């Protein structure tokens, strides 16, 4: 189990925060992909900066140790095996499960995977965007508490829409419905 302190500490660095939310929004990437694609606004210099592959790799390792990224092995032919990093919201799921009075360590990996699968599913994101029209870019939302509050207020409408969708319903029932229906 990951502590909230570990995850919050990992996200305090602006570069790691941007890497994590970039992966949440855009899906799995290699370190090379992140170094090429990611642009970070440096508020001290007032300019856009790019990170080196070495810097991205170090930040990804810290995020991985905090439980925010999962590395997946990828065979690259003659070049060997590389890593693709995938963002997860598992630390947040554990936080929610603790708030419900349950033990997160007793849940199987399948439950966490289903919760992530639903949270990143394009149809689910469309439902959330429709209900939360005042938030333009959920992936870059810095005020986690505000987003959680708004989601909590709209949860019934969101989950009702999810349950109506034949593709989303089984994913929802395998993860979220067991633990997050208040």
CB contact at 8 A, 128 and 151: yes
Q: Please compute Rg for the chain using Cα positions.
A: 17
Ranges 17-26, 51-60, 80-89, 171-180: which has the least confidence: 171-180
**Which residue shows structure tokens 């919201």?**
89
- For the stretch 12-15, contacts whose Cβ atoms lie closer than 8 Å and that sit 24 or more positions apart, written own/partner, are 13/59, 13/62, 14/40, 14/43, 15/40, 15/51, 15/55, 15/59
**Consecutive H or E run containing 5:** helix 4-12
CA-closest candidate to residue 81, choices 68, 70, 72: 72
pLDDT tens digits for range 25-39: 778 899 999 999 988
pLDDT tens digits for range 93-146: 777 677 667 777 777 778 778 877 887 788 887 887 777 665 544 444 444 445
Q: What is the mean pLDDT of residues 11-25?
A: 84
Between 14 and 58, the more confident residue is: 58
Percentage of residues in the chain having pLDDT higher than 90 = 17
Number of residues written out for the chain: 182
**Which residue shows structure tokens 């095996």?**
81
Using CA atoms, how far apart are residues 65 and 50, in angstroms rounded to an integer? Answer: 23
CB contact at 8 A, 86 and 23: yes
pLDDT of residue 51: 92
pLDDT of residue 139: 45
- Is the pTM higher than 0.85? The answer reads no
pLDDT tens digits for range 168-179: 888 888 876 666
Q: Collapsing DSSP states into helix, strand and coil, what is residue 90? A: helix
Q: Which domains, and CATH codes, for the chain?
A: 4-87 (1.10.10.10), 90-180 (no CATH)
pLDDT of residue 152: 63
């Amino acid at each position: 189990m990951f502590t909230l302190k570990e995850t919050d500490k990992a996200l305090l660095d602006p570069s790691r925060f941007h890497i994590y939310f970039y992966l949440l929004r855009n899906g799995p990437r290699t370190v090379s992909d992140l170094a090429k694609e990611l642009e970070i606004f440096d508020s001290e210099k007032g300019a856009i900066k790019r990170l080196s592959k070495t810097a991205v790799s170090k930040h990804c390792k810290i995020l991985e140790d905090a439980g925010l990224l999962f590395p997946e092995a990828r065979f690259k032919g003659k070049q060997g095996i590389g890593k693709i990093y995938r963002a997860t919201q598992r630390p947040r799921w554990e936080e929610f499960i603790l708030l419900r009075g349950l033990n997160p360590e007793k849940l199987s990996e399948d439950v966490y995977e289903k919760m992530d699968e639903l949270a990143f599913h394009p149809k689910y994101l469309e439902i959330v965007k429709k209900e939360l029209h005042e938030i333009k870019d959920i992936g870059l939302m810095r005020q986690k508490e505000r987003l959680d509050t708004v989601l909590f207020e709209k949860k019934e409408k969101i989950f009702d829409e999810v349950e109506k969708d034949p593709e989303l319903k089984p994913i929802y029932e395998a993860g979220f419905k067991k633990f997050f229906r208040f």
